[in-house]
Amino acid sequence: MRAGGRGARAYRSILDVFDDLAARGVELRILHASAPSRAFRATLAKSTRLKRALALRACPRVHFKIVIVDGAFVYLGSANWTGAGLGAKGEGRRNFELGFAGSDDGLLDRAQEMFDHVWRGAACGGCKLRDLCPGPLDLVASGPRARPDSRA
């Protein structure tokens, strides 16, 4: 995330942003396909507030990138949350990404429905990767704070 103004090239860690949101009482949920990076896990381990506020669940089939804010705004896009995906790498090292944002009720409903469907494990029963999955989500206690992924 860009910080500063007028040509500043400093970027702020997304976990710093999440920590600020957690301080304001924002619920944070992340679905991811594989274990977060070592740097992500190390930063998360240092923040008691963020550990309490950030719920992580893993599904090896997740590839979508969705950000939903207060059920009123949605971003859908191709970018992974990495330096290259978010544009933090130098010129010539950035990925070509595409995304869009809006507040269309139909789009919001569909995006939230898809996220929640995976989050609660509704897709696990018929998944062909279930035998390889380290923690099928349909076996996880319900609720947004449940943490099936101890790797985070």
* CATH code for the domain in which residue 35 is found: 3.30.870.10
Task: Say what the pLDDT of residue 134 is.
Answer: 84
Q: Which residue has the tokens 């507030």?
A: 49
Q: For all residues of the chain together, what is the average pLDDT?
A: 83
Q: Which residues pair with 51 in a beta bridge?
A: none
Q: Would residue 122 count as lying in a domain?
A: yes
pLDDT of 30 over the 80 cut = yes
| DSSP letters for 11-68 | B--HHHHHHHHHHTT--EEEEESSPPPHHHHHHHHH-HHHHHHEEEEE-TT---EEEE
Q: What's residue 10's pLDDT?
A: 67
The answer to whether residue 6 sits within a structural domain is no
Put residue 92 in one of left, alpha, beta given phi > 0 → left and psi -120 to 50 → alpha. left
pLDDT tens-digit map of 89-142: 777 877 888 999 999 999 999 999 999 999 999 999 999 988 888 889 999 855
Banded pLDDT at 147 (limits 50, 70, 90): very low
State which amino acid sits at residue 36: P
Percent of residues, the chain, with pLDDT higher than 70: 85
Q: How many domains is the chain partitioned into structurally?
A: 1
Q: Which residue has the higher pLDDT, 81 or 103?
A: 103
* 94: phi then psi, degrees, rounded to nearest 5: -90, 145
Structural domain includes residue 34: yes
Is 36 a residue whose pLDDT tops 90? Answer: no
Between CA 17 and CA 24 the distance in angstroms is 11
Instruction: State phi, psi for 32 to the nearest 5 degrees.
Output: -140, 160
Q: CA-to-CA distance for 132 and 56, rounded, in angstroms?
A: 19
The pTM assigned to this predicted structure is: 0.78
Q: What pLDDT was estimated at residue 13?
A: 79
Specify if 26 maps to a domain.
Answer: yes
Q: Residue 28 belongs to what domain range?
A: 14-139
Structure tokens of 93? 């090292």
In a domain, 151, yes or no: no
Give domain status of residue 37, yes or no.
yes
